[in-house]
Structure 1
Amino acid sequence: MYDLLIKNGKLVTPDRIYEAEIAIQDGKYAAFLAKGTKVDAKEVIDAKGGYVYPGIIDCHAHLNEPGFEYREDFETGSRAAVSAGCTCLIDMPLNNDPSLMNKEIFDLKMEKISKHSAVDFALWGGIVGDYDDKPGSVKNNMNDLVDLHKCGVAAFKGFTCPNGDLFPTVNMGNVRKALEILKPYNALCGFHCEEFGQVLEREKEAKAKKQERTKEEKIRDFLDAHDVWTEYVATKNVIDMARATGGRVHICHVSHPMVAQVVKDAIHEGLPITAETCPHYLGFTEDFVFEKGAPAKCTPPMRTKEDMEKLWDYVLDGTLSCVGSDHSPAADEEKDNETKDIWSAWGGLNSIQFFLPMMFDMVVHKKNLSPTLIAKVMGYNPAKIFGLYGKKGAFELGFDGDIVIVDPQKEWKCEQEKLFTKGHISCFDGLEGKGAPVCTIIRGKVVAENGKYKEDAIGYGQYVTPVRND
């Protein structure tokens, strides 16, 4: 007798959709059976013809614990994630205090987050430039990278743009050194690519304008300060460091087709480069920033309509092989249009609770593309790139029994007062679409139904480490 049987569903993989029953035993896929096969199971879930995915992986999310729990913590962020169909997320350090830059902080983080995550999770480690550790000393964390790798982090993240004192910017020397250190371990290094000097000077110039600026003029100044050239130059520089070292590089949240083309050229050259984008770059433009103001501030910013449409070509041809939410929440007062302008507002979007619904609506209903694209860029590819394949990302015997059942016609609406995240200001407030998860299962356990997490899911999530040979 199996623990769980999912019947009457349409299984979705990167290359096909087919009907089959799924049996789960001891939290793993135990059998894939012809439709209508009679088997005994302790629990049976009728998918009612819905699309059945082998879990959804969010490869880029900031849950801010430890350090900035007033913005988000693992309980609030993970309950929103599973409600939206996410079965595994890879948490990324930001300006946390402390950010994940050594083994001691890793131990501290695990002690906190492992107790109350509803979602299975992997971790990005940090790559940081010089910082003040204590009075009189300045150092970076190059000597801590191997220890973090041994802790099982899935990848490493650095920022090439101004980023604050708690998670200092890396220069190209840091990038090159990190790639040299981590290459023997085949470790992946991801980068927020905006070139430091351009951003610093262009922001300084914009903020120094003496004439009174309207809200719209300030937004235009902000967008111009973070134009495509800041992203393009940084991306080329980081790729050059991959060329110099042979180290694996992942370009985070590509926002513009010109940047995507640089990535494509590097891939065709044979360099070990991968890249991702996000729903807000595929479905929204700079006009959205003018409309929403502070809640829509993020970097890189959203681009023009023409840029947005061209970016889809690079998702479809596989250049942008992953889509991550880049959930980067804020306290409500940090996104308040009444008290914050585009410069003083927190830069990040509250998006995790509508990560899958937004993408499904865009892919299937707006673009008339196959639901298989979701399985590829939000499951299979992230699992492969971040080393989780073997546990996550595919319908394979012995993999974790993760399931997301999506009703393709289920209507949804983002209402920020109903968000499960700690902060409730979202630029997506009022957004509507079709296609939403009706059941989320992690390792054979139902953790959410009909857009609402289960209370007993809190604490169920487990740390997932990459499948490695070292």
Structure 2
Amino acid sequence: MLDLLIKNGQLVYPTEIKYGCLAVKDGKIVDISDETSSLEAKKVIDAKGFYILPGMIDDHVHFNDPGFTWRDDFPHASRAAARGGITTVIDMSMQNVPAVATGQILQKKAAYLTGRSYVDFALWGALIRTNRAHLLGLAEAGAAALKCFMSEPSSDYTSLWPKEIADRLKILSSTGILAGFHCEDYHLLKSGEKACLRDGKKARKDVLAVHSVASEKKAVQELIGILRQTGGRIHICHVSHPEVAMLIKRAKQQELHVTAETCLHYLLFDDEDYLKRGPLFKCAPPLRSKAAMQDLWHYVEDGTLDTVASDHSPCTLEEKDESGPKGAFGAWGGLSGVQTTLQGFWNLAVEEHGASPLLVAKVLSENPARIFGLWGRKGALLPGFDADFVFLDAERGWEIKAKQLEYLNKFSAFVGLQGTGLPVATYLRGRCIYEDGVFPEKPQGHFMPAKLPEPIE
């Protein structure tokens, strides 16, 4: 007998949408059928009126746990993910104490998070100056990817110079291990900020001028040039501008192994939101012009930008303060968005642009699973995959309110946003982890080590 049978829902498969039923046993999808009369289950749910989407995967979150838990932590942030239809998150290797720089640290973090997460989780490993000898160990421990900054994020999480990036990509190229990059040019950022502060320029417009499109383009061009010489796989994080996306599109046309993500905030907000509404809208790279925001959508639609992530980067309200000696440069640069990515993207894609729900499933579930070594377990409604799925009411209108947020610090740039299409129930491995404001289960999330690719001959 089945554990669970979902019937009469609009099932969003990788290539089609059709009415049918989803059969679950022992946490796995075991059958997909148009016929329910011969199937018996302990629990049957009539999903008439709902889309059934594969569980969403947010491949770029900073949950700050362990180490910076006054900003957010896994119990709060993973509840937010579950409420938003996210069933797997991939947590970043920085903003942890210690940073995830070795396989041993990754294993300890995974063990520590057991019992603290409402959703399944994978982990990024670090790609920094001091852990060259630990890269293969991180991959063997199950790291989904290794994260590198081309600009300096902090004193302990060091960026790499171009020669160091080339060296690391040569090490990784024979294994197929993925390296992810924050692409902003180190020299342009450092020299620009230094000059602004020297001249007393500390306003929001000065932040935008320093974190320019030219800085992002320069870093991406340099990185693609390195990849052309070394081989391997790279993933470019949080693409903010269509000119950057065009560079990536050309690299893909040249059959380089490049994938890329953007974030919902780059598709919904523009630089005027930051200039007029304040540091809640500060992020890095920053929000771009309205025209750029609108044009960026086309690169999601044509597949250049493979995934849409939240880059959930929470903080306290005090950390968003601009009154310090560095002015706007001193305010925390990050947005909280893991809870609201699916509903916001559904409204943008399906309601505003008339796109198919297949696109939502592709960029928020299938592509992240394929890129980060989770495919076969996560990413689709297919037999043998984990029974992770989301009930979405395409007719339900919504407005994001602070009191509805599950974050430790209940504020977000997305508060006040309105739209249509809301996730109302989330299932992880066949068990309901969220339904209409209720979390019926204690944290049940598992660590999901990424599959280590076969060596490239």
Give the distance between the partners of 1:456 and 1:50, measured in 2 at CA: 22
CA pair 337-208 structure 1, distance change in 2 beyond 3 A: closer
Native 8 Å contact 1:95 1:163 kept in 2: no
Classify the secondary structure of the residue corresponding to 1:352. coil
Q: CA deviation at 1:110?
A: 1.8
Give the distance between the partners of 1:37 and 1:160, measured in 2 at CA: 57
**Does 2:131 align with 1:146?**
no
Native 8 Å contact 1:98 1:166 kept in 2: no
**Does 2:144 align with 1:178?**
no
Equivalences for residues 261-300 of structure 1 within 5 A: 261-300=246-285
**CA-to-aligned-CA distance 1:244-282 (integer Å, 9 cap, x gap):** 111101110100011001101111111111111110111
| Partner of residue 60, structure 2 | 60
CA pair 469-188 structure 1, distance change in 2 beyond 3 A: closer
Equivalences for residues 67-216 of structure 1 within 5 A: 67-129=67-129, 140-210=130-200
**Does 2:307 align with 1:315?**
no
The amino acid of 2:429's aligned partner reads R
Report percent identity of matched pairs.
Answer: 41
| Partner of residue 229, structure 2 | 244
| Partner of residue 435, structure 1 | 421
2:372 to 378, 381, 386: 386
Give the distance between the partners of 2:124 and 2:389, measured in 1 at CA: 24
- Quote the RMSD (CA, aligned, Å): 1.6
| Partner of residue 137, structure 1 | none
**CA-to-aligned-CA distance 1:294-329 (integer Å, 9 cap, x gap):** 111100011111111111111111110111111011
Native 8 Å contact 1:299 1:348 kept in 2: yes
Native 8 Å contact 1:21 1:33 kept in 2: yes
Classify the secondary structure of the residue corresponding to 2:4. strand
Give the distance between the partners of 1:469 and 1:379, measured in 2 at CA: 20
Listed as ranges, the gaps of 5+ residues in structure 2 are none
The amino acid of 2:227's aligned partner reads A
Q: CA deviation at 1:433?
A: 1.4
CA pair 298-385 structure 1, distance change in 2 beyond 3 A: same
Q: CA deviation at 1:94?
A: 2.3
Give the distance between the partners of 1:228 and 1:321, measured in 2 at CA: 20
The amino acid of 1:305's aligned partner reads K
Q: CA deviation at 1:360?
A: 0.6
CA pair 172-469 structure 1, distance change in 2 beyond 3 A: closer
Q: CA deviation at 1:88?
A: 0.7
Classify the secondary structure of the residue corresponding to 1:438. strand
Give the distance between the partners of 2:286 and 2:72, measured in 1 at CA: 22
**Does 2:313 align with 1:328?**
yes
**CA-to-aligned-CA distance 1:360-417 (integer Å, 9 cap, x gap):** 1111111121111101101111111111111011122111011111001112222223
Native 8 Å contact 1:413 1:432 kept in 2: yes
Q: CA deviation at 1:456?
A: 2.1
| Partner of residue 136, structure 1 | none
Q: CA deviation at 1:10?
A: 0.4
The amino acid of 2:169's aligned partner reads L
Native 8 Å contact 1:162 1:199 kept in 2: no
Q: CA deviation at 1:175?
A: 1.3
- What is the aligned residue count? 453
Native 8 Å contact 1:292 1:427 kept in 2: no
Which is further off, 255-264 or 6-15? 6-15
| Partner of residue 465, structure 1 | 449
| Partner of residue 339, structure 2 | 353
The amino acid of 1:433's aligned partner reads G
Give the distance between the partners of 1:54 and 1:418, measured in 2 at CA: 23
Native 8 Å contact 1:7 1:35 kept in 2: no
Q: CA deviation at 1:62?
A: 0.9
Which is further off, 108-117 or 403-412? 108-117
Classify the secondary structure of the residue corresponding to 1:185. coil
Give the distance between the partners of 2:407 and 2:35, measured in 1 at CA: 38
Q: Structure 1 length as normaliser, TM-score?
A: 0.93
The amino acid of 1:56's aligned partner reads M
Give the distance between the partners of 1:294 and 1:148, measured in 2 at CA: 35
| Partner of residue 397, structure 1 | 383
Give the distance between the partners of 2:177 and 2:438, measured in 1 at CA: 34
**CA-to-aligned-CA distance 1:341-373 (integer Å, 9 cap, x gap):** 522211110111101111111111111211111
**CA-to-aligned-CA distance 1:433-467 (integer Å, 9 cap, x gap):** 111111100100000112x3515242x00011223
**CA-to-aligned-CA distance 1:184-210 (integer Å, 9 cap, x gap):** 211000000000000111111222223
Q: CA deviation at 1:115?
A: 2.3
1:222 to 183, 200, 207: 207
Native 8 Å contact 1:79 1:453 kept in 2: no
The amino acid of 2:296's aligned partner reads L
Which is further off, 168-177 or 316-325? 168-177
Give the distance between the partners of 2:10 and 2:319, measured in 1 at CA: 43
| Partner of residue 3, structure 1 | 3
Native 8 Å contact 2:176 2:453 kept in 1: no
The amino acid of 2:449's aligned partner reads T
Native 8 Å contact 2:12 2:381 kept in 1: no
Give the distance between the partners of 1:203 and 1:338, measured in 2 at CA: 17
Listed as ranges, the gaps of 5+ residues in structure 1 are 130-139
Give the distance between the partners of 1:431 and 1:29, measured in 2 at CA: 35
CA pair 87-111 structure 1, distance change in 2 beyond 3 A: same
The amino acid of 2:106's aligned partner reads F
CA pair 285-469 structure 1, distance change in 2 beyond 3 A: closer
Give the distance between the partners of 1:173 and 1:222, measured in 2 at CA: 28
Give the distance between the partners of 1:12 and 1:107, measured in 2 at CA: 34
The amino acid of 2:330's aligned partner reads S
Which is further off, 353-362 or 427-436? 427-436
Native 8 Å contact 1:295 1:336 kept in 2: no
Q: Structure 2 length as normaliser, TM-score?
A: 0.96
